[in-house]
Amino acid sequence: MLQEDKDVIIFIIAGTAILLLLGIFIISFLFFYQKKQNSYIKEKNQLKNNFRQELLKTQLEVHEHTLNHVSHEIHDNIGQVLAFIKLNLGSIKDLPQAEKQVRIDESRDLVSHVITDLRDLSKSLSYETLVTKGLAETIRMEINRINRAANFSLEFNITGQVLPLSQQRELVVFRIFQECMQNIIKHSEANQLKITLQYSTELFNLIIEDDGIGFCPDDAIEQGGAGLENMKSRAKLIDATISITSSSGKGCTIKVSLNPSQMQVSFDGLYPSGPD
């Protein structure tokens, strides 16, 4: 009988210890789970904030680039043409009637040209151009502007059916395109440029090729090439990849690629309805 009581006591103690250990395990599990959940939420919020800040920075840079272009166009093109028109009309007083009419017709044509330039400028004054016209048409407009101002033989192609990539992603891709073009104009010494947009439901590619002097991408980054790193970080922001193929004397090819469907899933998880 005494032995049976001992066995019962041992059983009760063992059961209590097991229950106690089980309770400690459950509490510890819940504690670490909650800690991990809080860390995940904090990281997610940080990603949201970083995405918002980078998007705002990109949008401001697009605005700045556009305003610089408008300023140069008004000063270097429209202002000079208007000054010439003023001079042209101011000097016709003592001319024969036939020559007066020639000068007037010439000035009228120049005024029409200025009106067209102003209309084109008004279409590119803000980020709304990208929103309303989409990436492909906005790049086409930018290429036409560059073609008027620079000495390039420029080719622009679109393959596949043009598909929207969302305003935020198109903004980032467009800013990468602008940075590429700025670098080409400043440094490449290129004569020929080829820009290609490739659309499909599985993949979007932006390809920029030039026949310039080329460079070594690794050396450029080591020497403080912030522009290349900046483009890569922005590409990563929208789940895109960017490849740069270049060597001295052999031009450069820059390719930005992204999968629209995978990117949509990724960003839906981060921004259910897009950033405010």
- Look up residue 49 and give its amino acid: N
Q: Are 61 and 175 in contact (CB under 8 A)?
A: yes
Please determine, for residue 142, whether its predicted confidence score (pLDDT) is greater than 80. Answer: yes
Q: How many CB atoms lie within 10 A of CB 167?
A: 17
pLDDT band at residue 40 under the 50/70/90 scheme: confident
The answer as to whether 24 is a domain residue is: no
pLDDT of 270 reads: 44
Q: 197-200: list long-range contacts, CB under 8 Å, 24+ apart.
A: 197/135, 197/136, 197/139, 197/157, 197/158, 197/159, 197/162, 198/159, 198/160, 199/158, 199/159, 199/160, 199/161, 199/162, 199/163, 200/160
The answer to which of 31-35, 51-55, 86-90, 261-265 has the lowest mean pLDDT is: 261-265
The answer as to whether 147 is a domain residue is: no
Please determine, for residue 265, whether its predicted confidence score (pLDDT) is greater than 60. Answer: no
Please determine, for residue 212, whether its predicted confidence score (pLDDT) is greater than 70. Answer: yes
pLDDT band at residue 178 under the 50/70/90 scheme: confident
The answer as to whether 236 is a domain residue is: yes
The answer as to whether 140 is a domain residue is: no
Q: Are 196 and 207 in contact (CB under 8 A)?
A: yes
pLDDT of 13 reads: 80
pTM for this one? 0.60
pLDDT of 105 reads: 84
Q: Which residue has the higher pLDDT, 275 or 35?
A: 35
Q: What are phi and psi of 162, to 5 degrees?
A: -65, 125
168, 251: one domain: yes
The answer to which of 157-161, 219-223, 234-238 has the lowest mean pLDDT is: 219-223
Averaged pLDDT, 134-139 = 90
Q: Which residue has the higher pLDDT, 59 or 165?
A: 165
Q: Which residue has the higher pLDDT, 251 or 91?
A: 251
The answer as to whether 12 is a domain residue is: no
Please determine, for residue 64, whether its predicted confidence score (pLDDT) is greater than 80. Answer: no
How many domains are there within the chain?
2
State the CATH number of the domain containing residue 233.
3.30.565.10
pLDDT of 109 reads: 84
The answer as to whether 5 is a domain residue is: no
Structural domain boundaries enclosing 207: 152-276
In what helix (H) or strand (E) does residue 146 lie, and over which residues does it extend? helix 128-149
In what helix (H) or strand (E) does residue 233 lie, and over which residues does it extend? helix 226-237
108, 223: one domain: no
Angle between the N-to-C axes of helices 128-149 and 97-123, in degrees from 0 to 180, rounded to the nearest 10:
130
The answer as to whether 36 is a domain residue is: no
Q: How many CB atoms lie within 10 A of CB 262?
A: 12
Q: What is the DSSP string of 92-131?
A: -TTS-HHHHHHHHHHHHHHHHHHHHHHHHHHHTSSTHHHH
The answer as to whether 32 is a domain residue is: no
109, 216: one domain: no
87, 158: one domain: no
Of 86, 110, 126, which marks where a domain is finished? 126
Report d(CA 188, CA 106) in Å as an integer.
Answer: 38
By 3-state DSSP, what share of the chain in percent is helix, strand and coil, each rounded to 5? 70, 15, 20
pLDDT of 169 reads: 85
159, 79: one domain: no
